[in-house]
Amino acid sequence: MKKIIILLFTLTLTILPSYSQIVKISANDAVSLALKNNLSLQAKRKEIDIMKQEVKMANALKNPQVQSNILTGSIGKANSSQVGLALPIEIAKRGVRKKAAIAKMRLVESQVRQAELDLKIKVMSAYFDVVYMKSVVAILQQREELYKNMKVLAELKPKNSQNYEIENLQADIKHKKQIILLNKAKANLLYAQFHLNDTLNLQDTSVMYDAREDSLFQEHITLLDIDLPEYKVIEDIAMKFSYSIRIADDNIEKSQKEYSLAKHKIIPDITVAGGYAYSNDGKANGAFLGGFVDVPMLYTYRPEVNRAKIVYERTKIDKLSFENKLKFALKEDYNQFKYAKENMNYYKDILHDSDTILKMSEKRYEKGQTSLLNLFIIENTHQEILNEYISAMQVFYTAYLDLMHNMGHDILLDEEVFDL
C-alpha cells in the first residue's frame, strides 16, 4: 500500500501536459472556484438580471399618443383643426401583470440555485474521477514493476530447470500486457484531469487544476469521510430544501398568476383623449374631450383563460407526482449509500489480508518454494481485490452525489442543515 502512495506523488508531473501553471486544489476549493467563476453559471445568473428588467417592463404605463388634425387648402377654410393627447388606460391589468413577472423571476432564481447545485455536483464528481484514476494508474504501475521483477526472477533461474522457457514467456507476456493497461490508464487519467478543468469552465485557461489528493488509499481521506443521519431526517431536509420542489412551487405560483392575468384580459381597456380645436377661419375655438373603449366582443379571450387554467392545474399535479418520485429516489439512493459504505469497509479489511498473502508468496517464489503460475494466480486475485476496493469507493461516492442531487442540498458542505 505504501508503494502505491509513493508512486502517486510522481504521477502528476509525468502525466499532465505542459501548462504555465499547475495548481492542486481540494474538492471544496474546486467547488468554490466554479461557483464564483464558471462562465456557464455566470451566463445563467444573467437571467435573473433579465427578469428584473421584465418586471419593470410589466409595470410600465402606456405612453400617451399625440394627435393632430390640421387641414390646409380650400378644404380647410370651412373646417377645424385639432391638436391633443390620447392616453390608453389599462383596467386592472398592470398590477396583475407585474405579479406574474415577479413570480416568473422567482422561478428563474430557483432555477439558478438548482444550476449552482448541479454544477457543484458535477465538479465534485469530476474531482473524484481524477483521484480515482490516479489510484488506478498507481495500482497498475505497481503491478507493472511487479511483473518486471517476476520477469527478472524467471530469467535468473537455471536454464535447464523445469518450465524455464514457458515461465519466461509467461512473464514477458504478462509484463507487456501490463504496460498496455498502464498506458490506457494514464490516458484515462489525463482525460479525467481535462474533464475537471472543462467542468470548472474558467476564463483563465493557462492554469491546469489538479486534485489535491494523490490516492484513495490515503488515511482519513476527506472525500470519503461522509456520515449521514437517519433516512427520515434526509427526507425531511429534501422536502424542505430541495430546489426541485421549490421550482415546482414557483411553477405553481407563476401559472396561477398567469391564469389571473388571462382572466383580467376580459376587462375592457379605455383610452381618454383631449385637446384643443379651432376653426381655420378663426371664428371659433375651444377644448374637446373624448375617448373609446376596447370591448372584447369578437374575441373574448376564453381560449387563453382556459389554457392558463389547464396549465395551472397541471403544475399542481406535477408537484404531487414529483414528490412521490422523489421519496422513492431518496430511499433508493440512501440504501445504495448505506450498503456501498459497508462494502467499502469490508474490502478494506480484505485488501489488508490479500496484501499479506501476496508478500508471503513473493518471498516463497524467490526461494523456489512455489511456481510462477501460482504467484500469477495470487497476484491476479490481489489485483481484483484492489480494483473492487476502489470501485466500491466509486460506488459509495456516486451514491452520495446522487443522494445530494435528489435532496437538493449539499449535506457535506452545509452540515448545519441537520440542526434545522
C-alpha cell at 356: 499479506
Its domain, for residue 317, covers 2-419
Weakest-pLDDT range from 23-27, 286-290, 300-304, 318-322: 286-290
* Mean pLDDT over each residue of the chain, to the nearest integer: 85
Q: Cα angle vertex 97, ends 93, 100, to 5°?
A: 145
Q: What is the DSSP string of 30-81?
A: HHHHHHHH-HHHHHHHHHHHHHHHHHHHHTPPPPPEEEEE---SGGGGGSEE
Rounded to whole angstroms, how far apart are CA atoms 257 and 250?
Answer: 11
The CA distance from 5 to 221, in Å, is 13
Q: What's the CATH number where 217 sits?
A: 1.20.1600.10
* DSSP conformational letter for 242: -
* pLDDT of 274 higher than 80: yes
User: φ and ψ at 8, to 5 degrees?
Assistant: -65, -30
157 DSSP 8-state letter? S
Would you say 200 and 21 are in contact if contact means Cβ atoms under 8 Å apart?
no
Q: Which three cell numbers stand for residue 84?
A: 391633443
How many Å apart are CA 393 and CA 341, to the nearest integer?
Answer: 8
Strands (E), 193-345: 207-211, 269-279, 285-294
Calculate mean pLDDT across residues 293-303: 89
16-50 pLDDT, tens digit each: 555 558 899 999 899 999 999 999 999 999 999 99
The average pLDDT across 251-268 equals: 95
Closest listed residue to residue 366, CA positions, set 110, 148, 72, 157: 157
Q: How far, in Å, CA of 368 to CA of 362, rounded?
A: 10
pLDDT band at 279 (very low <50, low <70, confident <90, very high): confident
Decide: 163 and 368 in contact? Cβ < 8 Å: no
pLDDT in tens, 51-75: 999 999 999 999 999 988 766 655 4
Cα 177 from Cα 143, distance rounded (Å): 11
CA distance 358 to 377: 10
**Residue 98 to residue 261: CA distance in whole angstroms:** 10
Residue with cell 467499502: 344
User: How does pLDDT run across 101-134, given as a tens digit for each residue?
Assistant: 999 999 999 999 999 999 999 999 999 999 999 9
> What band does 8 get if pLDDT is binned at 50, 70 and 90?
very low
How many domains does the chain divide into? 1
CA end-to-end distance (rounded Å), the chain: 42
Distance separating alpha carbons of residues 58 and 50, to the nearest angstrom:
12
Q: What is the dihedral of CA 308, 310, 311, 312, to 10 degrees?
A: 90
**Cell numbers 535447464 label which residue?**
160
> From CA 296, how far away is CA 241, in angstroms rounded?
44
List Cα–Cα distances, 257 to 5, 252, 262, 304, 342, in angstroms.
60, 9, 9, 13, 49
Q: Which residues contact 127 (CB under 8 A, 6 or more apart)?
A: 27, 30, 196, 211, 223
86 bridge partner residues: 65, 273
Cα 345 to Cα 366: distance, rounded to the nearest angstrom: 33
Q: Which of 175, 215, 184 is nearest to 1 (CA)?
A: 215
Total Cβ atoms within 10 A of residue 348: 13
Cell numbers that stand for 286 in this block: 375651444
Whether the predicted model's global pTM rises above the 0.85 cut:
no
